Amino acid sequence: MIAIACDHAAVELKREIEAMLTEMGEEYRDFGTDTTDSCDYPIFAARAAKAVADGSCEKGIVICGTGIGISIAANKVHGIRCALCNDPLSAQLTRQHNNANMLAMGARIIGVELAKCIVKTFLSTPFEGGRHQRRVDLITKLEQEQVIE
């Protein structure tokens, strides 16, 4: 199950991504927003991020105008590693190296086809583990306010 959310700047792109997920046979849960009326992206970031953090969704996708605000907000939820990726290589590497569990994109930065390619890459690339696991574990410790050096 994929959690997906956006603000008013990204409703159209979110619908395109949802159509692609359906074509791919991927189930998703939409946490809003549903209209282009101005809204506050942290609210929607939090709803999707909490569903990923509590395990009810395996991964999440959040989209705002730049992808910046909604990624910052999602990353405030413990357990979330949300990567802003406006290119497929970043999406591949953040899965391989950071085990990112949420993807953020900017609807005012990239086009629909590029966004679809980024989502496909993000969802299909496994975490490499190994030395990267140690680093991800350090991020978790930092989140838990443990001293890491």
Question: Which residues are part of the catalytic machinery?
Answer: 64, 97
Q: How far is CA 22 from CA 15, 16, 19, 87, 135, in A?
A: 11, 10, 5, 22, 34
The smaller minimum CB distance to ligand RB5, of residues 13 and 119, is found at: 13
Query: How far lies 56's CA from each of 9, 50, 131, 133, 138, in Å?
Result: 26, 9, 28, 23, 24
- Residues near ligand RB5 (CB under 6 A) are 7, 9, 41, 64-66, 68-69
Name the minimum Å distance from CB 38 to ligand RB5. Answer: 7
Whole-number minimum distance, CB 134 to ligand RB5, in Å? 31
| Cα end-to-end span (Å), the chain | 36
Which residue(s) pair with 61 in the sheet?
4, 103
Which residue, 39 or 51, has its beta carbon nearer to ligand RB5?
A: 39
Cβ distance to ligand RB5 smaller for residue 8 or 99: 8
Q: How far is the CB of 144 from ligand RB5 (least distance, A)?
A: 27
